Structure 1
């Protein structure tokens, strides 16, 4: 395969010969259901995912937290299976099954032996199409989710992450917590979640991706049989739902500084700026920038803050991209009294990168790290399944390993410096959880940090 391959929504059949001898195929049924597979030579297992392009950002005020709530409820029984039946189906064959709710999508997935793939498709299809949302189970699961939120609130790393996204994205939907909050979960009604389910879990919303030991024609046959058994009308014409607008959305910062005062032994710090969105051609440079700044043990943040100064055990950066926005975040956990110093050092390293760029050695090291990590990740069918699903939902193009490596190798020192300079000019937000003095983290301009 040479270059990325587009996934147009008006082409019912596609086939791609990808790197490593894998074979990618996509079928769009007349009803709008999209079925993608990547047949990987030598595999004896497969991972299957049922996706919808609906996440926490798509909720309206009366349904905040509904996407995550619904994810839980789809495991609680259907018209033909109890919650125990669903669990036993996978446990009895040594399989794994779970789900994930994100800001822009939800996925229900399973990993099984190749012989058990038809069963996995049937069970996931049943969950997706025929969930009961039983009123008693609804109330029971409300309690489970409230406990999950309480557990997250006891974890300072979770708390600082939520406060950081709120600080960076402000009133933008990406700033909302994925799981909602206790007040929203306590207030949401079954009727609201049911409407959310019926409005967003339709044939034209469904994307199925499978990677590993899979025959595409058989997969299509299993899928049609499972969906027809659920009484879905697969002959009723419908166009797949349109992808999100990929144009960059200007972010109005929520806050320059958020401090959650807690009597902890360690302060959790997260600071950063709006980043690069998923369709931006500079995403490879964004990943290289992140790698050099805080992507490994040889990164600038790790070397300066942990190795040279011994101020933190965990210190890193991350780069996240969404359909119309992104974020660059820098994290460190340190002694509360050293929080101003550590935050100052993180900002200094970020600004030094923006002002002076990176070296040729750093570029080569980052390219090697990212290329190797990409190749190793694809040893897992979970990663390949996720790549397929996200390609279909988000970017609308398939990028195999060869093209990924080419894009990484095309990044230049100048491209990283120019992007870093642009990012450093964007409003900076700081979030901290622990026994931290807010005044010590705030300068006169609302962003500078007193060291």
Structure 2
């Protein structure tokens, strides 16, 4: 597989293309650094509102005509506003590249942002925010991340009730003009298109796109502590967050393999020790997460009030036991699991476009699958055990959501 080639256009837009001559289709991922971390104070949720409002018409078309224009070209598309950025993704036949980019140019440069659609967009966002009450694990982790980060990285990507209610069409139009632009944005393409053709098409459609690149604050974290969240329920949600190494660190894949040992399948430590042997939980897992400039390992367990104390103790003990080392068999199983996941992801042009854009955002360069596989293969038992002994997972931020008054004070 050819490695993606990149070029920065005169307006600051970064274009990356991974050519797949055998592929009749193209997958696109446009990453705009417009997320909750840069929402204006008092307008938390602005990025979320803007992403929904964009599709209510553009280039002289109303919302229905815009949707039909995409459908006429056979475009499968999606978009989302997140903590750090907004993404616009699409898949289409390679022959439609120029026409598809022209439609996206209308959305980005000539959006209608109609006043009569604004309240509908706000109500959808408010419902999304309210849905947290029906998703206890998500509610718990949302509160835990807010407790971990003193910087805006602890914000809920959906926004806040106060921010969504305070938003006005005028304020959001001004925010769109300030944050939506070419500088700092990344357009990744994977499929049957060359860099030369893509660059010509992008310059013809998005070459006059200007603005963007708002300053992003650096992540700032608090001291680890415990958060108790009262919620009348028959279940208790437990969450842990441990500092970890970020992408680009020499031991990044060492840490990823350690996470696989913990939670890489039904034979992994957390599932076996916490659920299968002791029957403490109905769900348990650990996964690597993070933001640009700060990464962490999160762990989750869902249990009952009666089992909460033991669950938390065993969950922490299993994670901290990594410092005592992993076996060669565990490491090999983790390698197979991680490589399988990566290979399956990279087989899809859609997933590849997403990976390219994310690599450029986080690292400023694109990694090949061969580079990643080599980094995983280089981790042997001696290396991972040396790393885990020197970098134990200890002293996490902790969140407990449930009937706190029924849970012993030691939690």
Tell me the distance in 2 between the aligned counterparts of 1:111 and 1:336: 46
State which of 201, 204, 223 in structure 2 corresponds to 1:253. Answer: 223
Contact 2:51 2:86 in 1 (8 A): yes
Correspondences of 1:190-339 after superposition (within 5 Å): 190-227=169-206, 232=209, 251-253=221-223, 255-263=225-233, 265-339=234-308
Contact 2:247 2:363 in 1 (8 A): yes
Aligned position for 1:39: 19
State which of 30, 46, 61 in structure 2 corresponds to 1:81. Answer: 61
Contact 1:305 1:312 in 2 (8 A): yes
Q: What SS class does the counterpart of residue 110 from structure 1 fall into?
A: strand
Q: What SS class does the counterpart of residue 238 from structure 2 fall into?
A: strand
The change in CA–CA distance for 1:66 and 1:253 in structure 2 (over 3 A counts) is farther
Q: What SS class does the counterpart of residue 35 from structure 1 fall into?
A: strand
Tell me the distance in 2 between the aligned counterparts of 1:44 and 1:432: 50
The unaligned stretches of length 5 or more in structure 1 are 1-19, 444-448
Tell me the distance in 2 between the aligned counterparts of 1:251 and 1:352: 25
Aligned position for 1:54: 34
> How large is the RMSD of aligned CA atoms in angstroms?
2.5
Tell me the distance in 1 between the aligned counterparts of 2:346 and 2:407: 46
Deviation digits for residues 375-418 of structure 1 (CA, Å, limit 9, x no counterpart): 11111112110111112222112111110011111224354345
Structure 1 length normalisation: TM-score? Answer: 0.84
The change in CA–CA distance for 1:243 and 1:198 in structure 2 (over 3 A counts) is closer
Contact 2:40 2:46 in 1 (8 A): no
Contact 1:68 1:101 in 2 (8 A): yes
Aligned position for 1:120: 100
Tell me the distance in 1 between the aligned counterparts of 2:291 and 2:299: 18
Contact 2:322 2:392 in 1 (8 A): no
Q: Cα distance, 1:211 vs. partner?
A: 1.0
Q: What SS class does the counterpart of residue 99 from structure 1 fall into?
A: strand
Matched residue count: 411
Contact 1:163 1:258 in 2 (8 A): no
Aligned position for 2:360: 392
The change in CA–CA distance for 1:191 and 1:436 in structure 2 (over 3 A counts) is same
Contact 1:43 1:212 in 2 (8 A): yes
The change in CA–CA distance for 1:113 and 1:253 in structure 2 (over 3 A counts) is farther
Structure 2 length normalisation: TM-score? Answer: 0.91
Tell me the distance in 1 between the aligned counterparts of 2:10 and 2:71: 34
Tell me the distance in 2 between the aligned counterparts of 1:254 and 1:196: 34
Contact 1:279 1:323 in 2 (8 A): no
Q: Cα distance, 1:23 vs. partner?
A: 4.7
Deviation digits for residues 131-177 of structure 1 (CA, Å, limit 9, x no counterpart): 232222222211111111112332112212201212322x2221111
Deviation digits for residues 11-38 of structure 1 (CA, Å, limit 9, x no counterpart): xxxxxxxxx3x35222222221221111
Tell me the distance in 1 between the aligned counterparts of 2:358 and 2:64: 30
Tell me the distance in 1 between the aligned counterparts of 2:227 and 2:28: 41
Correspondences of 1:161-176 after superposition (within 5 Å): 161-169=141-149, 171-176=150-155
Contact 1:50 1:206 in 2 (8 A): yes
Corresponding position: 1:371 with 2:366: no
Tell me the distance in 2 between the aligned counterparts of 1:399 and 1:242: 26
The change in CA–CA distance for 1:417 and 1:70 in structure 2 (over 3 A counts) is farther
Q: What SS class does the counterpart of residue 42 from structure 1 fall into?
A: coil
Tell me the distance in 2 between the aligned counterparts of 1:249 and 1:416: 27
Tell me the distance in 1 between the aligned counterparts of 2:378 and 2:183: 37
